Structures are given as C-alpha cells and as structure tokens.
Structure 1
Amino acid sequence: MTGFAFSQDQYIFPYGSGPSKAFIKEIIKLTGKEKPKICYLPTASGDRESGIIRWYELVNDLEVEPYVQRVWISSYRQKYTFEEFLLGMDAIVVGGGNTLNMIAIWKAQGIDKVLKKALEKGIVLAGGSAGSLCWFDNGTTDSRPIELSVVEGLGFLPYSHSPHYDGEEFRRPVYHENIKKGVFKDGYAMDNRSGIIFKNGKPFKVVSMGEQYNCYYVSLKDGEVVEEKLDKIILKD
C-alpha cells in the first residue's frame, strides 16, 4: 500500500456479495467503539431506495448509529461537504451495483480522496460486490455491456480481486484468464457470503457464513493459475 503511513491500524473488510448482520458485527468490533457511527454508501446502485431500506433493517437491532450518504444530492439540501460527513464516521460500508460508474462518480465528487483520508484516519472501510472491488487495484466487473471486463479500483489493497466467485458462472474463468495473461497481479477471490479482513494491507482474518463459502489466494506459478483456499472462521447471524 504505497503512500500509506500506518500511524494507527487500518482495516478494510471486503466480502463477496451483500452484507450480513454477522459481517456488520465484525465491522462494529473493528471500530473499537461501543456504538459506532457507520455510514452506508449506496453510490453503485444509484442510491437505490430499496438498498437504503435494507441497510436500516439490517442494523436495526445492533448497537450502531446508522447513516447514509447519497451522491444524487443538491447543494440546496446538503449543507455539509462529503469530507466533513464521511470523516466523522467510525466505519463506511459500500453497497453493490455498478463499480465502474461508482468510481467515476466518486472521482468527479472527490470522494475517492476522502476515502483515502478516512483510511489514513483509521476509519474502517468495508463492502461487498462493487463495495469490495473498489478497494483493490483491479478486478472483474459486470459494469459494461455483454461480458465481464476489467475495472480499476482505488488501489488501497495492492492485489487483484474477484467477488461472487461461487455465485456467477464466468467469474472464476475470467479471473483466471486475466491472471494468466498478466492483466491482473496475484489476488483474492471471495465466494458470496465470505470475506477477508485486511489489517494494514495484509490479510488478518477470513470469515464465512457457512462451510461452503470460501476465500482464495489466486496466483500464477510456473505459468499456471493456482488457488489456495484460506482457513476461515464460521460466523452466525
């Protein structure tokens, strides 16, 4: 993670698909706060209302102060900057959707720079699907027409990434192909309902919602793609 100074521990928690209550509980623990402020960023879904409702339902009985930061805003209604709001959080959770569009909007609004400041400040960053892809150097996305393609992330984690590894037919072969061709460096693939907590840029803890959901380190050795299944801790909602 070139350019990051670890004055305090920095946590990023990407997972393969949507959030679970158990994953949110892990995020709460990572903040070290009794009742942390956690903000949901639904940019990738176009600030879809159903996702926002689902977020509030998910955390309804948890010890958190839940917030949402939309990007489809008006200067007449929002009287604070994205930086002022997001840097006041203890954790930021990014929702799924179109990764390519999300990152383009973030860069247009300067949110990408705010998220880097958040990480450096020790704010926990998390998310699944588009919300996991965004933290890595690059990965496979369904953000363009016709077929899976390559998307560039924010580079907070210096690896490639594939979410939905068990949930979509073409994720694994396309990821393997790009690693073999050298388009991607070695990286981490995550089944739906599994994830990896990174501490200061390194894998720290692998979690899963069931024995069948796994995370993998995928690398190129002697010209062949190799998957290493990572030891995991099974969580319960």
Structure 2
Amino acid sequence: MQRQLFIYGSGKHTVPFLDYMTKATGKQKSNLCFIPTASGDDEGYIERFHEVCDQLEVHAHVLRVWVNSYDDKETFTTIINQMDAIVVGGGNTLNMLAIWHAQGIDKALRNAYENGVVMGGGSAGSLCWFNGGTTDSRPAELSIVKGMRFIDKSHCPHYNSEKSRRPLYHSNILNGDLTDGYACDDRSALHFINEKVVKSVSLDADNHSYYVHAENGHIIEDLIPGDIIG
C-alpha cells in the first residue's frame, strides 16, 4: 500500500492543488475531506473549500471538531476511514495538534495514511506531518512546534512570503534545533510517496520547493525542480 502526502506552502484552497490530490487517489470521483481544526472550523474557510470542490470531480466532506457529540452519529475515526484524500487547513498548528491528540484524530490519520489515504494541506496543514518546524501558534514570535512525524524531516511553509521564516529556518537547522527538511513557497507543492519526494509542482514560475540542510556550517538549499500546473 502506497503512503502518499501532498503538501504546499500556503493554506489557501486552489483548484490545481486539490485536483492534484484527488487524482493521486486513483479514484474517478474520490471522497475528499477538509479538516479545518487549525482555523477553529472557520465557516468562510469551509465555504471556500466547497467552492473549489464544485469545480472538481469529488465528493466533498468536512470534519469539524467543534461539535456536540450527541449531534453526530459517526466518530472522527469512522469519517476519516471513509475518505480517499484528506486536506488539512491553515491556522494554529499547536492548538490543532493538541485537539487531535485529545480526540484521537492523530491516531486515526496515521492509520488512514498507512492504509493508502492521500494526506495533505498547506501552512499548518503541511507542517503537521513532519517532525517539526516554526509556527506562529504562540504569541510574540515564531517558535518551534513538533509534528506527527509521518515524515521524519523538518518543514517550513510560507518560505517566500513571510520574511522571518527563511532565516529562522536556516538558523534552527544550523544550531540543531531542527533537522534538515523541506521548504515550500506559498504556491509550490511537494508530493511524497512512501516518505520520498516523487514530484514538485507549483502554480507559477516564481514559487519553488527546496531541500534545506547544513553542510560544513553553512546552509544549502537544493532546488527541487518542478512542473507548473496553475
């Protein structure tokens, strides 16, 4: 069973990226589920997801965590297990992961990933799958957050759009607070199969993805060549 992950730098929904995810499932009309936990199940964000899905051949679903249990007849695990692909939105990574752990959603996602469900997302929805990265989930400044380690590398979203992201990511790798890892500009994405990069894509020629690592006390950014799908 192939384990697949598709991540991009920004949490904004786009037709090309969600279309790529659904096609990766191999299904003609896949069940695609949006998990907006990091944004507090923001209704505007959910509405935008449905607007994008209206342009795709998918069955659109949303997994909300801000619910009363007696209103829902299915568990979070049951919903996740019915999906072909799951996209996680942006927002507060730290709070999202805490809620997932308390609700057992992290374990359900791990099991689904191992069973071939395509996982992905942007911003918090890309950072969560790796071993760690920097986040604005805490007040005052960017800080380090640990992820779920589906891929045992670090990750940096918003690589080209937030000025502090790139230098801080470099600094954390150099001082050993983060491992080597992958960085994505806002409109660039990486597709992993069995924890290995198999394809890089972007929405335009100005956005890219990189493998970032330290060598002899210096940061090396290896550009991962990709195709434009926007």
TM category (shorter chain) comes to over 0.9
Shift of 1:61: 2.0
Give distance in 2, aligned partners of 1:50 and 1:129. Answer: 17
State whether structure 2 residue 111 is matched by structure 1 residue 79: no
Q: 1:153 aligns with which of 147, 155, 158?
A: 147
Q: Normalised by the size of structure 1, how large is the TM-score?
A: 0.96
Q: Normalised by the size of structure 2, how large is the TM-score?
A: 0.98
For structure 2, list consecutive stretches of 5 or more residues without a partner in the other structure: none
Which secondary structure does the structure 2 equivalent of 1:127 belong to? strand
> Residue 159 of structure 2 aligns with which residue?
165
State whether structure 2 residue 7 is matched by structure 1 residue 10: no
Give distance in 1, aligned partners of 2:79 and 2:200. Answer: 30
Give distance in 2, aligned partners of 1:196 and 1:49. Answer: 27
Give distance in 1, aligned partners of 2:116 and 2:123. Answer: 22
Q: 2:201 aligns with which of 195, 202, 207?
A: 207
Give distance in 1, aligned partners of 2:13 and 2:157. Answer: 13
Q: Amino acid of the residue matched to residue 3 of structure 2?
A: Q
Q: 1:124 aligns with which of 118, 129, 137?
A: 118
The answer to whether the Cα contact below 8 Å between 2:15 and 2:55 also exists between their aligned partners in 1 is no
State whether structure 2 residue 49 is matched by structure 1 residue 52: no
Which secondary structure does the structure 2 equivalent of 1:76 belong to? helix
Alignment of 1:1-237 (within 5 A): 8-17=1-10, 18-236=12-230
Give distance in 1, aligned partners of 2:188 and 2:13. Answer: 10
Q: Deviations over 1:158-201 (max 9, x none)?
A: 10000000010100011001000001111000000101000000
For structure 1, list consecutive stretches of 5 or more residues without a partner in the other structure: 1-7
Shift of 1:24: 0.9
Give distance in 2, aligned partners of 1:196 and 1:216. Answer: 9
> Residue 3 of structure 1 aligns with which residue?
none
Give distance in 2, aligned partners of 1:118 and 1:172. Answer: 32
Shift of 1:79: 1.2
Aligned sequence identity (%): 51
Q: Amino acid of the residue matched to residue 61 of structure 1?
A: Q
Which secondary structure does the structure 2 equivalent of 1:207 belong to? strand
Report how many aligned residue pairs link the two structures: 229
Shift of 1:32: 0.3
Give distance in 1, aligned partners of 2:92 and 2:166. Answer: 19
Which secondary structure does the structure 1 equivalent of 2:70 belong to? coil
Q: Amino acid of the residue matched to residue 37 of structure 1?
A: N
